[in-house]
Amino acid sequence: MNVLKIQELSVRYGPVEALSKVDLEVQPAMVYGIIGPDGAGKTTLLRSICTLLPYQEGSIEVLGYDAANRAKEIRARIGYMPQRFSLYQDLSVQQNLRFFARLFKVNHADMLKRREQLYKFSRLEPFAKRLAGNLSGGMKQKLALSCALIHTPGLIILDEPTFGVDPVSRVEFWQLLHQLKADGISIVVSTPYMDEASQCDQVVLLHKGRMIGQGSPAEIISGWKGKLYSLTSSDLRKLYEFLLSRANKEDLQLFGSEIHLFSEQELSSDKIASWQREFPALESCVEIKPGMEDVFLRMMQ
């Protein structure tokens, strides 16, 4: 059985189409990534799954319930972590957990047991009495995740959970997600980070409300047709200008300390050598394997 099944979903805000014909299926114990830049429609998609937004076309089925008319059943069975930190900052870690447990009618004994597990899992116990507002970014996210898990849901929906969190905490947070997956929990997570996308079992790439790709990260990368080259230089900006006169702008991407160049055919060694003559500051030009980000940027065009 699918934990989540979305068919031909379209969501409009007035005349603006935020999502258009999105399909996806999430199986049990799977990490499903919603990948896309800001404004791609990730939050709209996640809110629709949580029954927070009405949708105009298509269908959403969450844990066997139709999102159009069984909102209450769905809301009782999923865990949700909105994009913005949305717990009570003036309540302590413990009080937040207790409040959400009571909201979901978890009885006291079960709540204590579950809290124990979640404290171990998130290592938040030493901060039980600290106000949520005084936690660090990473700990806030761990608390939000714990609150979303307090009623032992089968599916959790996380909207950019690691946004604005330091890299160490990000890695730690993803370790928690893998642990949850191992416990059989399905996770739908949105992220703008491509390194996180490659940690998902399945991803859907969203751009301007449309799906531009779907599948496992390996499948998506293997769908890459053509060659990719990495070029470096001491003067990257000049190199970029130089390449602009030799290749299409769409085929060039600046990547921190290198430039990625897409080419349908293999670049001949003569061509590379001639570039090196014309632009002596070109240090290297080697073929590389494309990453998620390359694929995504390519697909956006």
- Chain residues that interact with another protein, rule: CB under 8 A: 47, 50-54, 71-72, 75-76, 78, 80, 82, 84-91, 95, 99-100, 102-105, 147
Least Å from the CB of residue 14 to another protein = 11
Nearer to another protein (CB atom), residue 47 or residue 207: 47
16: left (phi over 0), alpha (psi -120 to 50) or beta: beta
Nearer to another protein (CB atom), residue 69 or residue 257: 69
**Which residues, at least 6 apart from 300, have a Cβ–Cβ distance to it below 8 Å?**
207, 212
Least Å from the CB of residue 6 to another protein = 17
Question: Three-state SS for 233?
Answer: strand
Least Å from the CB of residue 72 to another protein = 6
Least Å from the CB of residue 167 to another protein = 25
Residue 65: phi and psi, rounded to 5, are -105, 140
Nearer to another protein (CB atom), residue 50 or residue 124: 50
Nearer to another protein (CB atom), residue 96 or residue 233: 96
Least Å from the CB of residue 295 to another protein = 32
Least Å from the CB of residue 132 to another protein = 11
* Nearest partner of 73 among 81, 84, 61, judged by Cα: 61
Least Å from the CB of residue 106 to another protein = 10
Nearer to another protein (CB atom), residue 135 or residue 197: 135
DSSP summary character for residue 112: H
Least Å from the CB of residue 227 to another protein = 45
Task: Give me 159's structure tokens.
Answer: 């909207």
For residue 69, with 0-12 CB atoms within 10 Å meaning exposed, 13-18 middle and 19 or more buried, which class applies?
A: exposed
DSSP summary character for residue 1: -
CA-to-CA distance for 63 and 70, rounded, in angstroms?
Answer: 11
Nearer to another protein (CB atom), residue 150 or residue 239: 150
**Contact yes or no for 254/230 (Cβ under 8 A):** no
For 253, the enclosing helix (H) or strand (E) is strand 252-255
Nearer to another protein (CB atom), residue 188 or residue 203: 188
Nearer to another protein (CB atom), residue 102 or residue 271: 102
Give the neighbor-by-neighbor strand order of the sheet with 78-81. 78-81, 155-159, 186-191, 31-35, 202-207, 210-215
CA-to-CA distance for 144 and 87, rounded, in angstroms?
Answer: 7
CA-to-CA distance for 194 and 299, rounded, in angstroms?
Answer: 14
For 285, the enclosing helix (H) or strand (E) is strand 282-288
